[in-house]
Amino acid sequence: MRISLNEIKLIDDHIFNQGTHEDALLLDALLILNPALSNQIRWQKKAHTIIKQYGRKKLKAEIESVHRKLFHEPIHQSFRLRILRLFRPG
């Protein structure tokens, strides 16, 4: 892999606590040699936050699709009625 891709792997291992002790020492050394690396770590953490938001958005769309099927398709009518009955005013 390219050096920059190895650096991404090293940062990932640091973020997820998956690296070896040697990896941690290497990252510490690289941070001393190149203080700008701390910004790369920051951007990579942000990237993970964005990926998580993207994942949740897509997953919620999949769940919503299931909900639409259950509450609109005739085949699920008995389930739908069973649920809606719970919210009927007394």
Partner 1 sequence: MADRNFFGITTAEREKVFMTLYKKAFPAVAKYVSKMGGSFDGAKDIFQDALVIYYEKTVSASIELQTNEQAYVLGIAKHLWAKKFRENVLHTSLDTYRDDIMDEEDMQPSPAKLLHYLETAGQKCMEILKAFYYDNLPVNKITELFGYSGVRSATVQKYKCMEKVRETIKEKNLAYEDFIE
Binding region for partner 1 (CB under 8 A): 1, 4-5, 8-9, 12, 15-17, 39-40, 43-60, 62-67, 69-70, 79, 82-84, 86-87
Shorter beta-carbon distance to partner 1: residue 4 or 20: 4
State in angstroms the smallest separation of the CB of 8 from partner 1: 5
Nearer to partner 1, 32 or 86 (CB): 86
Nearest residue to 31 (alpha-carbon basis) of 41, 21, 22: 41
Cβ closest to partner 1, residue 28 vs residue 69: 69
Taking the complex as a whole, the smallest distance from the CB of residue 59 to partner 1 amounts, in Å, to 6
Tell whether the torsion through CA atoms of 34, 35, 39 and 45 is positive or negative: positive
First vs last C-alpha separation in the chain: 66
Containing 37, the helix (H) or strand (E) segment is helix 37-72
30, 60 contact by CB (below 8 A): no
